[in-house]
Amino acid sequence: AACEGFVFHEEQYTNHREVWAYHDYLPMELAKLPASSVEVFSQPRRTRKERANTMARELSSPDDRRLRLLCLTWNVGATRPLSSESLEAVLDEEPSPDLCIIGFQETCQLSARRLLADGTEWEQWQKWAEKSVKDAYEGELQLLESVHLVGLLILVFVRSSFAPLVENTRCTSLGIGVGGYGGNKGAVAVRFELGRSSFCFVNVHLAAGQENYIARCQNYSTILNKLRFDDELVHSE
């Protein structure tokens, strides 16, 4: 375990009581899908150096302009990170990313005050994640931008050599929880341009539990319709 104080608030517990009965609540559209089989191929785990060498060979062509992305998401359940642990084991799965995006949900214990105001708990998770990325990639990535909203946090890292090419960075957040504005549910997002490509990464926290399937779809629709980036640039190289 990489975190301590693992305590779910009552809403989470209630919403997950039916976790083993999800199949009884599947939407009809999903239930009608034909069954399919999956073949699993077991491969020996390669070291970081071996994966990096493979990556170097794949990108050796001067015409290759592919970017390597690594996206992680984790609901940390209102816990605190352990300094003795890190994300390196997960980050090792992609030995040489150009962009690394990490999204956390529930970085703080919810309370009436936290519904509308940020605390400082997210800072612990950001510092912990930054150290993990620095150690895993030996300083090759740097934090481009971060956005937080109550328990939500998104971190966007970019390869240092690409940082001067990043332009038109914008950040935003949207609370859609209690009263339609509470930050217990919502989204945080970062968008930017890198070369001739534009990117937008969104970290969301929706209504939990299969019994709240309709509410979750409504949350998703609200975020799509209301999430907006203003004209103020975070920075423009």
Taking a C-beta distance cutoff of 8 angstroms, is the pair 103, 116 a contact?
Answer: no
Instruction: Classify 105 as helix, strand or coil.
Output: strand
Long-range contacts of the stretch 17-21 (C-beta < 8 A, 24+): 18/209, 18/210, 18/211, 19/210, 21/210
Q: How many residues does the chain have?
A: 237
Q: Where are the beta strands (DSSP E) in 138-233?
A: 141-149, 152-159, 166-175, 186-194, 197-205
Q: In terms of pLDDT, which residue wins out, 213 or 42?
A: 213
**pLDDT band at residue 230 under the 50/70/90 scheme:** confident
**pLDDT band at residue 42 under the 50/70/90 scheme:** very low
Taking a C-beta distance cutoff of 8 angstroms, is the pair 208, 15 a contact?
Answer: yes
**Averaged over 14-32, what is the pLDDT?**
47
Q: In terms of pLDDT, which residue wins out, 227 or 46?
A: 227
Q: Give residue-wise pLDDT tens across range 209-226.
A: 888 889 889 999 999 999
